[in-house]
Structure 1
Amino acid sequence: MTESASSLALAGFLTLVFVGFTLLAIEPLIAFDAYFNLRPPPPSWVPVLHVLDRVGQRAICLPVLAVVTIACCRREESWRPAVLAASSVFALNLVVGLLKIGFGRAQPASADPSFFIGGMAYPSGHTANIVLVYGLAAYLLGRYFRLGRGALVALWTGVAGLSLLMVVVSVTLNWHWFADLIAGLLVGGIVLELAVAADAAMPRQAFDGGLRQGVRVVLAAVRRRRTGPPGHGDVA
């Protein structure tokens, strides 16, 4: 449970950072966002920037995660990686969608960085996708293929590089305020750490016998943790 507890603690810390950062973005950082609302890029850059932007789109990143997940499922002979990947992606899209609606921030094209005016810019779904989807792919490969330290460093360096690329591309194209992009990275990190915590807490044999068996195993484990081990609370 050590890995699960540490991941939950990190998710909690990132949540606090997100809340604090959002409070700053709503008021003190608005001038900072306006400063980064750059003029449109040169026309010759636009086709290349559009291609680079696709790295954060679901049509590109989800197939990558799907290939990694299938490979992990085959290697482990279990549905566990697929359940983890599908539930994590669903959770991210739900959280990002609710936050976008709740904060209602318009895109830079409006020239108004205010919140609660009916937009859908905060947080950025692209940067959230980068962290969760590519980060989860790196995590699954490391866990189920037992990669060495060098390979893991290369994978996580790639995730960090793609995150930076997404921020630069979106700011250059004026598709997001700078704060939107940082918030997206934080939200992606929160969901990723929660996914790691859930995977570490899940019984080892969960989903080895299929989806129904896995659900029963997980529910039984949850009930045991609520009630305690046999004899818990008995008086000797």
Structure 2
Amino acid sequence: MHGRVSGEHRDESSAGRLALPALAVGLYAAALVIFADLGRNGPMIRLDAWAASIWPYEGPYSYYIADMIDRIGQRQVCVPLLIIVAWVVCRRIGSMRALVISTVLTITLNFAVGVLKLASGRESPRTGGPEMFVGDNVLFPSGHAANVIFHYGLVAALLLRYTYVREWQRKVLHIGVVFLFVLMTFVSVYRHTHWLSDLIAGGLIGTSLLCVSLAADREWVPLVNWLRRLAGPTWVVAEWVIERLRPVVVGKTKPAMAKLPQPVTRELAHSARASSSRGGRGLVPTTRHPAAPGSTSVGGVVSRRKGGREDAGPDGREPEAVVRPRSSSWS
């Protein structure tokens, strides 16, 4: 996500229709290829055996620090973090999209990982060999690796798109997600709780669902319209649920200026003060776009000169901000 909450093209679809990203399909297909290779005792089996032999297993109580680090991939840690960030974003932009996407894709991730886990029947490096379909454990793919990529990746994406983030902070978020995945992979192999192929496949599935979530956010409007057509009359149930959750999650709608990143707000205020000091009439922010003749645009927000006939209220005064009414509770 490279947009901002104040971007004028935030809700516009680049393709005009909903399309599942080819990258997401390719990544999940790659995880299935690894699953097939393990099932036929292919090269991945030998890679797993080699990786497990790097550090001899020392017993279940010899990895205190590694056990603590391993918790970053647990759902009890990463899911609440994602929900909190999504809730803050929902209140910031006045939309349910972040929480809906986070919840639905988290459930989808657990399903996508769980189906392969139940089909693998693989022993851990602590109890057996790397062969598939010979044990009772459910190791392939790694849920911890998938959680790290998906949940922390989506947290970073929401912060990048819907908050003001400096360039160095952007780099920290990108590098941080990759670092957590590498750390999770190292710790799991070191503790002998997963084979290397489990972690690689888990990372592929987590990245696949992360791509789907980014596409769902970017194509939110056509996605909702497509789901409405697909659901037909049953869509009223989803609307009923969202209508009751919306006041709790989003709260009261704030003026458009309250949703802008602070630098954009400060820039508008500075422009207004500068114009007033020169004897001008100042700038009044509105949410109208594209910009009409005689208007200016700062950070995707269109502003008009005071005294304009079009923006004046019934009493002859200009409103502080014009907020468009919502056409749907899903907006």
C-alpha deviation, 1:16, in angstroms: 3.1
Q: Report which stretch shifted further, 36-45 or 173-182.
A: 36-45
Distance change >3 Å, CA 218–CA 47, structure 1 → 2: same
- The DSSP-based 3-state class of the residue aligned with 1:29 is helix
Out of 19, 29, 32, the position equivalent to 1:19 is 32
Maintained 8 Å contact 2:18/2:226: no
C-alpha deviation, 1:34, in angstroms: 1.3
- The CA deviation string for residues 55-90 of structure 1, in whole angstroms up to 9 with x for no partner, is 111111112212211210110111111001101111
| Identity among equivalent pairs (%) | 34
C-alpha deviation, 1:45, in angstroms: 5.8
Out of 34, 39, 47, the position equivalent to 1:32 is 47
- The DSSP-based 3-state class of the residue aligned with 2:22 is helix
Maintained 8 Å contact 2:188/2:194: yes
C-alpha deviation, 1:5, in angstroms: 7.6
Between structures 1 and 2, the one with greater helix share: 1
Maintained 8 Å contact 1:41/1:172: no
Out of 95, 101, 104, the position equivalent to 1:78 is 95
Provide the C-alpha distance between the structure 2 equivalents of 1:162 and 1:5, rounded to a whole number of angstroms: 31
Out of 178, 187, 207, the position equivalent to 1:189 is 207
Distance change >3 Å, CA 43–CA 16, structure 1 → 2: closer
Distance change >3 Å, CA 109–CA 67, structure 1 → 2: same
- The DSSP-based 3-state class of the residue aligned with 2:221 is coil
Q: Which amino acid aligns with 1:94?
A: F
C-alpha deviation, 1:103, in angstroms: 1.8
**Length-normalised TM-score, structure 2:** 0.59
Higher relative contact order, structure no. (Cα contacts within 8 Å, ≥ 6 residues apart): 1
Maintained 8 Å contact 1:21/1:183: yes
- The CA deviation string for residues 161-205 of structure 1, in whole angstroms up to 9 with x for no partner, is 00000001011110001110111000101111111112222218x
Provide the C-alpha distance between the structure 1 equivalents of 2:123 and 2:23, rounded to a whole number of angstroms: 30
Out of 21, 26, 37, the position equivalent to 1:8 is 21
- The DSSP-based 3-state class of the residue aligned with 2:122 is coil
Distance change >3 Å, CA 106–CA 92, structure 1 → 2: same
Maintained 8 Å contact 2:34/2:44: no
Provide the C-alpha distance between the structure 2 equivalents of 1:98 and 1:67, rounded to a whole number of angstroms: 28
- The DSSP-based 3-state class of the residue aligned with 1:123 is coil
Superposed, 1:40-119 pairs within 5 Å as: 40-41=57-58, 46-117=63-134, 118-119=136-137
Gaps of 5+ in 1: 207-214, 224-236
- The CA deviation string for residues 23-81 of structure 1, in whole angstroms up to 9 with x for no partner, is 33332221221122231258896111111011111111112212211210110111111
Provide the C-alpha distance between the structure 1 equivalents of 2:126 and 2:60, rounded to a whole number of angstroms: 17
Provide the C-alpha distance between the structure 2 equivalents of 1:221 and 1:149, rounded to a whole number of angstroms: 40
Q: Report which stretch shifted further, 100-109 or 81-90.
A: 100-109
The corresponding residue for 1:219 is 227
Mapped pair 1:171 → 2:189 = yes
Q: Which amino acid aligns with 1:31?
A: R
Q: Report which stretch shifted further, 113-122 or 152-161.
A: 113-122
Distance change >3 Å, CA 95–CA 150, structure 1 → 2: same
C-alpha deviation, 1:148, in angstroms: 4.0
Provide the C-alpha distance between the structure 2 equivalents of 1:148 and 1:25, rounded to a whole number of angstroms: 44
Q: Report which stretch shifted further, 108-117 or 36-45.
A: 36-45
**Length-normalised TM-score, structure 1:** 0.81
Mapped pair 1:132 → 2:150 = yes
C-alpha deviation, 1:142, in angstroms: 1.2
Q: Which amino acid aligns with 1:36?
A: A
Gaps of 5+ in 2: 1-12, 232-331
Out of 144, 149, 152, the position equivalent to 2:162 is 144
Cα RMSD (Å): 2.7
C-alpha deviation, 1:115, in angstroms: 0.9
C-alpha deviation, 1:107, in angstroms: 1.4
Provide the C-alpha distance between the structure 1 equivalents of 2:35 and 2:66, rounded to a whole number of angstroms: 27
The corresponding residue for 2:218 is 200
Maintained 8 Å contact 2:21/2:211: yes
